[in-house]
Amino acid sequence: MSETFDPAAGLLNEENQLFLEQCLARLGPKDREVIELRYWKGLTYRESAERLGIPENTVSSRLHTAVQRLRKIIEDRDI
């Protein structure tokens, strides 16, 4: 099952969407790219790997690390 996240789908109110965008902006380009491919574009690990020219397991570990970094940024900014 492929889970995707589309901020335009109305799941986030405008304030939360802005907060998330600000947090994503604090990530490095490789982290943002892998999150975008997986959650915004809904690509599989294989499709992301093909697009990035890297092995699937690298996509998986890069995504895991990127999500951990994003989670830390969100937690640190939580009011």
Kindly indicate the confidence band of residue 5, based on its pLDDT and cuts at 50, 70 and 90: low
Q: Which residue has the higher pLDDT, 62 or 9?
A: 62
Residue 6, pLDDT score: 55
What are the angstrom distances between the C-alpha of 41 and each of 3, 8, 45, 68? 10, 12, 12, 20
Kindly indicate the confidence band of residue 33, based on its pLDDT and cuts at 50, 70 and 90: very high
pLDDT higher than threshold 70 for residue 9: no
Ramachandran quadrant class, 18 (left: phi over 0; alpha: psi -120 to 50; beta: rest): alpha
Query: In the chain, what are the domain boundaries?
Result: 29-79
| Protein fold of 29-79 | Arc Repressor Mutant, subunit A (1.10.10)
Residue 57, pLDDT score: 96
CA distance 69 to 31: 9
Q: 15-19, 28-32, 39-43, 71-75: lowest mean pLDDT where? A: 15-19
Other C-beta atoms lying within 10 Å of the C-beta of residue 58:
15
